[in-house]
């Protein structure tokens, strides 16, 4: 598997991880900061594990991870999370 696929796969799963870590009572700003912070951590760890730890690779990895997570959230998870918060299953 190419690293680009791994980055996008982790980005796609990140909304699930973020949802487990955040509290429903937190403000939207705090939730957004949490998602971005998690992107920083995941992107940094990916680059570190690959031995390509420089600013260009870090920014590319973090950007790709965050973009993938936002696309996954908007397209697949947002409605499910909102339904769960409002008392649905």
Has residue 89 got a pLDDT over 60? no
Give the start-to-end residue ranges of the domains of the chain: 3-18+28-85
Answer yes or no: pTM beyond 0.85: no
CB 65 within 8 A of CB 39: yes
The predicted-structure confidence for 11-28, as pLDDT tens digits, reads as follows 888 888 888 888 878 888
* CA Rg value for the chain: 14
Region 64-78: mean pLDDT is 88
pLDDT, residue 85, reads 72
Q: Output 21 or 1, whichever has higher pLDDT.
A: 21
Residues 26-44 pLDDT 10s: 888 998 898 889 888 988 8
3-state secondary structure of 50: helix
């Amino acid at each position: 598997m190419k690293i680009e696929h791994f980055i996008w796969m982790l980005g796609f799963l990140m909304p699930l991880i973020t949802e487990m870590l955040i509290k429903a009572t937190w403000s939207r700003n705090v939730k957004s900061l949490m998602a971005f912070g998690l992107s920083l951590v995941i992107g940094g760890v990916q680059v570190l594990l690959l031995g390509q730890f420089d600013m260009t690779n870090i920014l590319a990895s973090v950007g790709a991870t965050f973009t993938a997570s936002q696309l996954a959230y908007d397209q697949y998870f947002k409605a499910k999370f909102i339904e769960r918060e409002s008392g649905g299953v």
